[in-house]
């Protein structure tokens, strides 16, 4: 087996061993190596909490290096096992495993392939000082995928006949399920810093059966990707069978969540399921697919569920867009946009990266609040996310940017090719005191905001100083603070281009876009789903 050139892929390293097992490529002999590698980890008694696979690639590459890091203690166990009789045997004559297990702290190289031919898989194991998941002062937040997979496993445990019923008090309940099963999906689930998430999942375990009323022993597929991959590809890429591409009336749907935000799908396989899939594949319009999915939902054959983090105190389950005829939605209008952009002169940075805009029932009380800004650690494009008003303050969802942009273009014109971006802000950073062009660019926007047409803004005095603060920052590698603040100003300026009636229509649409609820979007309705929150 001759070694080829290896590309060093060294990013992320956040996958558990179980997650690594889902990323092997397909091909001859791959399962043989996968079985051997897992046997090696088991024989070495590797602590999976101190094991980090590379999450920077969707599939483990063939012919190129795949890096795995682990604690020094784990590395010592693997070295010892490779040099002992506990090392798993490999009996396939067609393939060979060659490893380099040097003394000291040097990485372990493991190559798999055909003798005298190319390397198929090349693993590099290296040590790291990173703390094990679930220990020490720091912990890993659950990724979106981990959140969804934990909940999916809870559903499987509670309503499937194919798993151990941990909900039986004699079996140990949630904590036993958590420590035995869920911890393998998200190792930090019991970390003290993640108590809010632990309580969220425990609440799901305790209440999901009663709240959802989903039948026991009905669904037999609890796959994270099976139906999801099909419906996402069909809706966003393939389109109607007669004219592939954009859907009649609905047009191009760039993201599945702009149509249906379901994160997990429960499926009952069989002839009825196959019939529903066949009907979806021959449907001429999106609203026809919606009707098929409504029927499949009511028959408990295909059930899509959108997941939001709960309060940890009470679980809610809402059914959305599941009526054949949807009545008029309550009218919603603009409340107030509170614009506050404080600036630290010493650090030359803005100290606030989010502002809020409220919406209210027509002539009534506030019903929602849109958060505009970012909570990322680096520069990025702002998001627009609604939460409900009141004591529950449930998250309603993010506004799909493609729908927001389309509605914006209908109101203020197609000269806007995108919503505000960090690149727009970067392109207009002020290059010194003589750069009047970019200074006046920001002054024009702030002056329009300060005029406060229709009394729609609640403006802090620091907003007036925004152009001067941007001048103070000057041209430099843009950071998240000016990126976020600049986009807030740009968005507020866009709102000044609308009359009050159009502004009310715009925020009403955004409010329902965020919830994927009821309203027609470009002639079709949102897809049906249950919302667990």
pLDDT in tens, 350-396: 999 999 999 998 888 999 999 999 977 789 999 999 988 865 557 78
pLDDT, position 3: 37
Shared domain check, 497 and 350: yes
pLDDT, position 410: 87
Shared domain check, 350 and 415: yes
- 8 inside domain: no
- 356 inside domain: yes
* Domain span at 231: 226-325+518-532
Shared domain check, 399 and 504: yes
Shared domain check, 522 and 465: no
- 511 inside domain: yes
Number of structural domains in the chain: 4
pLDDT, position 479: 92
Choosing from 167, 186, 212, the residue where a domain stops is: 212
pLDDT, position 327: 59
Angle (CA) 440-446-448 rounded to 5° is: 105
Shared domain check, 274 and 198: no
Shared domain check, 497 and 442: yes
Burial bucket for residue 205 (CB in 10 Å: 0-12, 13-18, 19+): buried
CA distance 218 to 160: 7
Shared domain check, 344 and 478: yes
CA distance 435 to 442: 12
CA distance 518 to 533: 18
Residues of the chain with pLDDT under 50: 1-13, 521
Shared domain check, 108 and 159: no
Shared domain check, 204 and 231: no
Q: In angstroms, how far is CA 353 from the centroid of its own chain?
A: 21
pLDDT, position 355: 96
Shared domain check, 354 and 480: yes
- 133 inside domain: no
Shared domain check, 470 and 350: yes
- Residue bearing tokens 């012919």: 63
CA distance 504 to 334: 5
pLDDT, position 147: 94
Angle between helices 195-212 and 144-159 (to 10 degrees): 40
- 139 inside domain: no
Angle (CA) 72-48-50 rounded to 5° is: 35
Choosing from 80, 99, 128, the residue where a domain stops is: 128
Regarding pTM above 0.75, the answer is no
Shared domain check, 423 and 307: no
- 319 inside domain: yes
- 490 inside domain: yes
Residues 411-414: contacts with CB under 8 Å, at least 24 apart: 411/497, 411/498, 411/502, 411/505, 411/506, 412/494, 412/497, 412/498
- Residue bearing tokens 């010592």: 76
- 218 inside domain: no
Choosing from 128, 154, 186, the residue where a domain stops is: 128
**DSSP letters for 206-219:** HHHHHHH-PPTT--
């Amino acid at each position: 087996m001759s070694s080829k050139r290896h590309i060093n892929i060294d990013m992320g390293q956040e996958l558990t061993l179980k997650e690594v097992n889902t990323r092997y490529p397909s091909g001859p002999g791959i399962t043989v190596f996968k079985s051997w590698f897992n046997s090696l980890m088991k024989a070495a008694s590797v602590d999976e909490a101190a094991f980090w696979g590379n999450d920077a690639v969707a599939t483990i590459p063939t012919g190129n290096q795949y890096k795995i890091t682990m604690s020094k203690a784990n590395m010592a166990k693997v070295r010892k096992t490779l040099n002992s009789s506990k090392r798993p045997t490999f009996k396939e004559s067609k393939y060979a495993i060659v490893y380099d297990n040097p003394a000291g702290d040097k990485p372990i190289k493991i190559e798999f392939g055909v003798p005298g031919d190319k390397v198929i898989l090349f693993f590099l194991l290296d040590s790291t000082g990173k703390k094990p998941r679930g220990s020490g002062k720091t912990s890993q937040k659950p990724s979106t995928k981990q959140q969804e997979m934990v909940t999916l496993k809870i559903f499987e445990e509670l309503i499937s006949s194919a798993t151990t019923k941990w909900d039986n008090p004699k079996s140990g309940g949630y904590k036993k399920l958590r420590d035995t099963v869920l911890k393998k999906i998200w190792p930090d689930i019991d970390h003290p810093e993640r108590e809010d998430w632990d309580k969220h999942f425990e609440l799901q375990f305790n209440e999901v059966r009663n709240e959802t009323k989903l039948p026991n022993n009905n669904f037999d597929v609890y796959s994270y990707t099976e139906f999801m991959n099909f419906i996402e590809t069909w809706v966003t890429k393939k389109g109607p069978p007669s004219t592939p591409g954009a859907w009649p009336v609905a047009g191009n749907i760039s993201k599945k969540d702009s149509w249906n935000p379901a994160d997990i799908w429960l499926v009952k396989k069989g002839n009825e399921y196959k019939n529903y899939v066949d009907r979806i594949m021959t449907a001429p319009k999106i609203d026809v697919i919606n009707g098929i999915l409504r029927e499949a939902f009511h028959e408990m054959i295909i059930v899509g569920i959108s997941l939001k983090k709960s309060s940890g105190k009470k679980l809610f389950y809402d059914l959305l867009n599941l009526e054949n005829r949807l009545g008029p939605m309550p009218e919603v209008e603009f409340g107030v946009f509170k614009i506050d952009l404080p600036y630290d002169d010493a650090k030359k940075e803005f100290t606030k990266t989010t502002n809020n805009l409220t919406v209210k029932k027509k002539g009534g009380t506030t019903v929602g609040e849109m958060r505009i800004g970012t909570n990322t650690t680096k520069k990025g494009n702002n998001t627009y996310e609604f939460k409900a008003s009141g004591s529950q303050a449930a998250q309603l969802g993010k506004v799909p940017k493609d729908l927001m942009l389309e509605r914006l273009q209908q109101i203020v014109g197609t000269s806007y090719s995108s919503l505000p971006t960090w690149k727009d802000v970067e392109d207009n950073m002020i290059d010194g005191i003589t750069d009047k062009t970019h200074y006046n660019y920001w002054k024009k926007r702030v002056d329009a905001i300060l005029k406060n047409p229709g009394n729609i803004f609640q403006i802090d005095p620091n907003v007036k100083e925004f152009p001067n603060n941007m001048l103070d920052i000057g041209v430099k590698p843009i950071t998240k603070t000016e990126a976020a603040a600049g986009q807030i100003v740009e968005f507020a300026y866009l709102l000044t281009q609308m009359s009050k009636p159009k502004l009310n229509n715009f925020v009403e649409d955004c409010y329902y876009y965020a919830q994927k609820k009821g309203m027609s979007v470009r002639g079709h309705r949102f897809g049906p789903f249950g919302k667990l929150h």
